[in-house]
Structure 1
Amino acid sequence: MIRSAQFLAFCFLISVAGLLQADEGFPGRSLYPGVAVIELDELHRRLGAVTVVDVRSEFEFNTLHIAGAQHIPLSERDFADRVAALAQQDESQLVFYCNGRSCEKSYQAAVKAERAGVAGTVSFDAGIFDWARTFPNDTVLLGEPLADAGKLLTRDKFEAHLLPPEKFGLYLDEAGFAVDARDNQQRAGLALFMGREKRIPFDNRARWEQLLAERTDNSAPLLIYDAVGKQVQWLQYFLEAKGVENYYFMAGGAKAFFDML
């Protein structure tokens, strides 16, 4: 009897270890255990048989997305209604995705869809970067087929344009101003450089186009900061495509700045 109990306990531990190993690198899976997931190769195999839905911002979607994906931002108030309408229009299974393994938006989208009466949805929680690196021919970068994963910006390229908060402000005299890329909710009325900054939310493509068109001195550094230093990674693709070379982001964003004080 004791041996039997020990054996059952051993089997339980093995099963738990297996689950932990399966979820390694995907922290959201334990937070959203009721959400089904689809793996990278399986999604590629079924790409024509499912409806892929990108739930990120418009700027992120326009920068890089899975070819053929629908775009319904999770942040939109009518997200559930739009998903329900899509499910009625297209009876194939809905697959939600966002930026990557630490992003929870794809799980949250599946939960909202379920509550809206749309059953059977899944999360592709590996996200856009795993997809783009593995299947560049089925990826769109800035409106064109990616084709070559080497076109993706590297971490080293990003870090080459980072300034720690204590150095960021030292460039203000040369730059003339800094651009606050946070949205109104993130900003909460708190400016870092009062009177010496412009406010352009990172996903307002038209305003960024206007800013670059109005720059008269391209030799001056373009300084940009966001909330926590992540959204500016998408701006880098835009700046590089526009030929801007002298630009810097604040490492860690506004949060790092306030933590420094």
Structure 2
Amino acid sequence: MISRLHSLVVETLGKSIVGGELEPGATMHSEHVERELGVSRSVVREAVRVLQSLGLVETVKRIGIRVLPRSEWNLFDPSIIRWRLADAEKGAQLRSLTELRSAVEPAAAELAAQHSPDELAAELMAVAAQMRASGRAGDLQRFLDLDIRFHSLVLTASGNEMFSKLHDVIGEVLRGRTYYGLMPLHPHEEALQLHVDVANAIQARRPEDARAAMDKIMRRTAVEVEQVWVDEPRLYVG
């Protein structure tokens, strides 16, 4: 019960802050949150600690809980990414994430072709084959799970621990594309083949081919979803 109520407070306040209902500088009091959401003081306290760790709020003595500006947010946290993708500004979030992936994932694929342990390379091949089967069958949930696993494996196989820590970020954007109707019912054959090409190049130790195939995946992804952000202004956060 405590866990459910804790999640309720975090989700409610987090979405309100990210969605702009609670603007930077706005203040709240624990007592108000308790009454509004029907939870105890201890639940609010623990939830506020989580929101503080995300850079969304700070507690100020004799003032209360203060909402922080976007410049303080942990923009790489999966919860913030998920809330932003559910908000009106999901286009700007998708653009930022797609550009991040376009910068990182081709480099990760190149490194994976140089450094991946054999067992990871073999698993990547198996996942790519399963993706093709589920994509052709129109099983989008299965395809999504495999797609997340595929890209997570590439990051891990790079041997770069900073890249590997981005797997949750990339998982959220892949889920967002599917949940908000930005994926075709049947993924394109070219996209399915490109995932196989990446896996093949990594297993065959061809770094340039691995980078090139992953770069094509990223460029194709951008073309498929860019209509979502075409009118969204860029965000300049110091």
- TM-score norm. by structure 1 comes to 0.25
**Rg larger for:** 1
More strand per residue: 1
TM-score, with structure 2 as normaliser: 0.26
The higher-RCO structure (CA 8 Å, 6+ apart) is: 2
